[in-house]
Amino acid sequence: MIKTRTAQAKSLAAGPIDLVGRRAQPIRAAGYSLLELERAGLTLEQGRELHIPIDMERTSGVGTNVLRLRELMASR
């Protein structure tokens, strides 16, 4: 199955992303990393209370994910 760029962008817009490979290809991540939560000003407990998906295995911090978390906090 071949995805177009717009279809791929729409699927990535739905949740957290991770960047992999030399060219930093975005892929859908299982949840936000602890680093992203910290940079957005959230603790692990607050993230769980807000039902935010958290991926304990990820260690990277993607700026787009931090911005999404800040927008989520502003809307609540």
Could you give phi then psi for residue 17, rounded to 5 degrees?
-120, 160
> Which residue did the predictor score with more confidence, 5 or 42?
42
Note the pLDDT tens digit of each residue in 10-58.
444 578 888 888 888 888 899 999 999 999 999 999 999 999 999 999 9
Other CB atoms closer than 10 Å to residue 38's CB: what's the count? Answer: 13
Torsion of CA 41, 47, 52, 53, to 10 degrees: 100
CA–CA separation, 60 and 31 (whole Å): 11
What's the confidence (pLDDT) of residue 11? Answer: 47
